[in-house]
Structure 1
C-alpha cells in the first residue's frame, strides 16, 4: 500500500474497498455497521480509524481455528 494511502484518515467508499481488498458493497456495509460514515452534502467519507477498531472485534482468538 502506498504511503500516501496509509496516512489517510478519511476515504470514499470505492477507495476504502480497494484498500481493504473487498467489494464495494461489503465495505459500505462494514462502514455502516461500524458507524464510521460522515456525510457532507452528497459526499460520504469513511473514518478508517473507526473501521480498524471495528475490524479488531472480529479477531479470531480461538486456537482451534488455526489448526
Structure 2
C-alpha cells in the first residue's frame, strides 16, 4: 500500500512524526496525536516522538462501519 501526500506518491513509511502523519491521513495534528496515543502506537526516542503506522492502521480499522 502506498500513501500520497499532495500529488507525490511515496513508499509506505513505518514510522512518522506527528506532522507528517497528520498530513498523510488528512486530519489535524492534535487529532492524529490523540488517535496515536489511544492506539498505543507512540515510540519515544530521546526527544523524538514517532508513530508506528502499522499499529495505527490496525487501530483505525476498529472504527470501520459495517453495512
TM-score interval, normalised by the smaller of the two chains:
0.7 to 0.9
Greater relative contact order: 1 or 2 (C-alpha under 8 angstroms, separation 6 or more)? 1
Corresponding residue pairs, total: 60
Question: Residue by residue, what CA displacement relative to the aligned partner does 1:3-61 show, whole Å, maximum 9, x if unpaired?
Answer: 23xx2000000000000000000000000000000000100000000010000000001
Alignment gaps of 5+ in structure 1: none
**Matches of 1:10 and 1:56 in 2, distance apart?**
18
Secondary structure of 2:23 counterpart: helix
Output the aligned Cα RMSD.
0.7
Report 1:1-67 matches (<5 A).
1=4, 2-4=9-11, 7-61=12-66, 63=67
